[in-house]
Amino acid sequence: MEKKPLRQQIRSVLRWTGWVLLVQFLLINISTAFYADKLTRFYTNLPEGYSNSSGNIFTKSWKLFTGPRYPRSSNLEAPVFAIDTVRLQTKQGLAINAWYAPADTTAKGTVILFHGIGGSKMTLIDEVNEFRYLGYNIMMVDFRGHGNSEGNRTTIGYREAEEVRLAYDFVRQKGEQHIFIYGSSMGAVSVARAVYLYEMKLSGLILEMPFYSLQTYLKARAAQIGFPAQPFAFFTSFWIGLEKGFNGYKHKTTRYAAAIKCPVLLTWGTLDHYVNEKEIRTIYEAIPGPHKRLVVYEGASHESLLRKDPEKWRTSTESFLQSPGQ
């Protein structure tokens, strides 16, 4: 059998290598497109006992390729104090559910609270109780696709900025002049983006554990599902942006933080698996002006910092509320 010339052999190898790389590129894009959809969708009809890791080898492989499914959050109970249910509406016509409660005494102001991805109003009930104890009216908001609000999608803090503005407008229309906004995780990112987009006269912001960018958040998610951080985060950021109508690579908290004009209390835990120290300090440095504070919780992960260290949370939060400009 006649042996092919070396040049022809090299050309053949390169051709097959090119085809293999092209197939891999297509498979990566197909898989991350599935993931982009699943990571931004919540399901209300999952079978009882559903698990993303259950099933036979073929079912598990398919779930790994197409992405996990996450249940929609809910508020199974209401606060023990009296609340008024507020209905806000987005430009797309989604009904946003919120609870408003006045302080038991003469109010020092109003705190509006926003939860993280997959959470709901009631996940922040401990923080709400603390703000009420300090003498503030409170407003608790379910983001779109969460809790009692309509929809089954999230944009991981991008379009949720609209809910922040709607809640702010509601409180302002009540004549409130002394407004603080609190956001946890995705809620903090949404708050920062709202300040970037809209004119809001605020007394201060409390931002707990905001992720640095959509890509860094997805890198952290990749580690939890056993995927390599890259190219998963790069391609999934692209597909989330494409599917939701925005540039996923520009969804960065540092970009939004640069527009903040009010005092800020930024908090973070040293064991946070979504946000590392370099990222949180970069966000802190991006906030302009001298009226900002960074409080670090030793040994805390991406969790309720109040429940992790109640004394530190109460001391730093009360100090900020009393003198945000110092």
What's the token pair of residue 229?
């951080």
Instruction: Tell me: do 176 and 236 sit in the same domain.
Output: no
Tell me if 283 is assigned to some domain. Answer: yes
**Domain that includes residue 124, residue range:** 74-212+252-322
Residues 128 and 233 in one domain: no
| Residue 116 is assigned to a structural domain of this protein | yes
Same domain? For 243 and 260 the reply is: no
Instruction: Please check whether residues 222 and 207 belong to one and the same domain.
Output: no
Q: Of 203, 227, 251, which closes a domain?
A: 251
Domain membership of residue 63 (yes or no) is no
Residue 16 predicted with pLDDT over 70: no
For every residue of 79-143, DSSP letters joined together read: -SS--EEEEEE-TT--EEEEEEE--SSS-S-EEEEE--TT--GGGGHHHHHHHHHTT-EEEEEPP
Q: From the centroid of its chain, how far is CA 241?
A: 15
Work out the burial of residue 85: count CB atoms within 10 Å of its CB; fewer than 13 is exposed, 13-18 middle, 19 or more buried. Answer: exposed
- Output the pLDDT for position 132: 97
Q: Is residue 6 located within the same domain as residue 19? A: yes
What gap in Å lies between CA 65 and CA 272, rounded to an integer?
27
Tell me what pLDDT residue 46 has.
Answer: 75
Q: Average the pLDDT over 89-111 and give the result.
A: 96
pTM for this structure? 0.89
pLDDT band at 60 (very low <50, low <70, confident <90, very high): very low
Query: In CATH, what number is assigned to the domain containing residue 310?
Result: 3.40.50.1820
Query: What is the spatial distance between Cα 101 and Cα 83, in angstroms, rounded to a whole number?
Result: 5
Asked whether the beta carbons of 317 and 289 are under 8 A apart, the reply is no
DSSP character string of 196-243: HHS----SEEEEES--SBHHHHHHHHHHHHT--HHHHHHHHHHHHHHH
156 in the same domain as 268 = yes
- Close Cβ partners of 72 (under 8 Å, ≥ 6 residues apart): 42, 43, 44, 145, 146, 152
Q: How do residues 134-175 score in pLDDT, each as one tens digit?
A: 999 999 999 999 999 999 999 999 999 999 999 999 999 999
Same domain, yes or no: 135 and 180 = yes
Q: Give yes or no: residues 267 and 173 share one domain.
A: yes
Mean pLDDT of the chain: 89
What's the pLDDT at 40? 92
pLDDT digits (tens, 9 = 90+) for 281-294: 999 999 998 999 99
133 and 182 within one domain: yes
Residue 315 lies in a domain: yes
Which residue reads 């997805």 in tokens?
218
CB atoms within 10 A of CB 112: 26
Beta partners for residue 110, in sequence order: 137, 179
51 occurs within a structural domain: no
Q: What is the pLDDT of residue 4?
A: 60
**191 backbone dihedrals φ, ψ, rounded to 5°:** -65, -45
Residue 6 — very low, low, confident or very high, per pLDDT cuts 50/70/90?
Answer: low
Task: Tell me the CA distances in angstroms from 34 to 89, 152, 214, 326, one per residue in order.
Answer: 29, 16, 17, 47
The predicted pLDDT at position 2 comes to 55
Element (H, E) at 253: helix 253-257
pLDDT-above-70 percentage for the chain: 85
Residue 69 lies in a domain: no
State the pLDDT confidence band at 57, using cuts at 50, 70 and 90: very low
Note whether 299 and 196 are same-domain residues.
yes
| 45 domain residue, yes or no | no
Helical axes 229-244 vs 214-225, angle rounded to 10°: 120
pLDDT for 14 equals 65
Distance CA 252, CA 289 (A): 19
Task: Give how many domains the chain has, as a whole number.
Answer: 2
Both tokens of 223, joined, read 């580690």
Q: Domain check: are 23 and 83 in the same one?
A: no
Q: Is residue 54 part of a domain?
A: no
* pLDDT tens digits for range 228-248: 778 889 989 999 999 999 999
Residues 135 and 203 in one domain: yes
215 burial level (CB within 10 Å; 0-12, 13-18, 19+): buried
Predicted pLDDT at 249: 95
